[in-house]
């Protein structure tokens, strides 16, 4: 029996579907996570390229867009356990180039740029309020890393009862093993998996 068969037999892998008001969330596609010498590598550069196409489609359709950045105080006063596990993250301060959204995805006027200090975009932020104000019921997640901040955000999105969709070619990780394993697991338990092209096609129907 294959892994997929095991999950199917136990009732996992169903679709939560696409609602009526989507929003696009771009998680931590910043310079530091696009730099293999810092926190990047793997398939992150390709995921950024695919996200640029999906972002353009979202903008054309008037879909709300939110970007996240990991941002710590310059004096390290808000660095917690996450930075004990990965001390290099402390360079991601407000004005450090590594914390800036990559040029290919530069936020447009009116798009929300959310600062966070933990893996999930929901933890200790006002993301819920931003989504509720826009009556969002479907959160489309792109970004890095698949096994880290993307996964944490996806689990929290589902936990807050948002229909959650992971854009499979628009998320990336520094290693492909964790990327593939986490995509599979999220698809079984927390989110629907769709390509950027499939998602963009749905924008025209909302």
In-domain check, residue 130: yes
Where residue 205 falls among pLDDT bands split at 50, 70, 90?
low
pLDDT (tens digit per residue) in 108-167? 999 999 999 999 999 999 999 999 999 999 999 999 999 999 999 999 999 999 999 999
Task: Work out how many domains the chain is built from and give that number.
Answer: 1
Where residue 199 falls among pLDDT bands split at 50, 70, 90?
very high
Domain range spanning residue 96? 19-203
In-domain check, residue 194: yes
Residue 206 has pLDDT above 60, yes or no: no
In-domain check, residue 12: no
In-domain check, residue 164: yes
pTM for the model: 0.96
pLDDT (tens digit per residue) in 6-34? 999 999 989 999 999 999 999 999 999 99
Mark whether 66 is an active-site residue: no
Q: How far is CA 106 from CA 92, 103, 180, 184, 205, in A?
A: 17, 5, 27, 29, 26
Which one of 66, 83, 149, 170 is the catalytic residue?
149
The CATH number given to whatever domain includes residue 70 is 3.40.50.850
In-domain check, residue 110: yes
């Amino acid at each position: 029996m294959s892994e997929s068969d095991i999950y199917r037999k136990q009732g996992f892998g169903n679709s939560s579907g696409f609602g009526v008001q989507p929003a696009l969330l771009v998680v931590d596609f910043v310079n530091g996570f696009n730099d293999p010498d810092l926190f990047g590598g793997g398939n992150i550069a390709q995921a950024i390229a695919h996200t640029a196409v999906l972002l353009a489609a979202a903008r054309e359709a008037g879909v709300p867009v939110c970007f996240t950045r990991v941002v710590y105080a310059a004096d390290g006063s808000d660095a917690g356990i996450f930075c004990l596990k990965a001390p290099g993250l402390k360079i991601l301060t407000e004005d450090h180039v590594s914390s800036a959204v990559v040029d290919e995805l530069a936020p447009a006027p009116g798009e929300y740029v959310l600062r966070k200090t933990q893996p999930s975009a929901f933890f200790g932020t006002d993301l819920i309020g931003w989504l509720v104000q826009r009556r969002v019921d479907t959160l489309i997640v792109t970004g890095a890393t698949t096994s880290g901040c993307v996964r944490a955000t996806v689990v929290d999105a589902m936990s807050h009862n948002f229909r959650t969709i992971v854009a499979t070619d628009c998320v990336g990780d520094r290693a492909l093993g964790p990327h593939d394993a986490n995509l599979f697991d999220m698809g079984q338990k927390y989110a629907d998996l769709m390509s950027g092209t499939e998602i963009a096609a749905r924008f025209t129907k909302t």
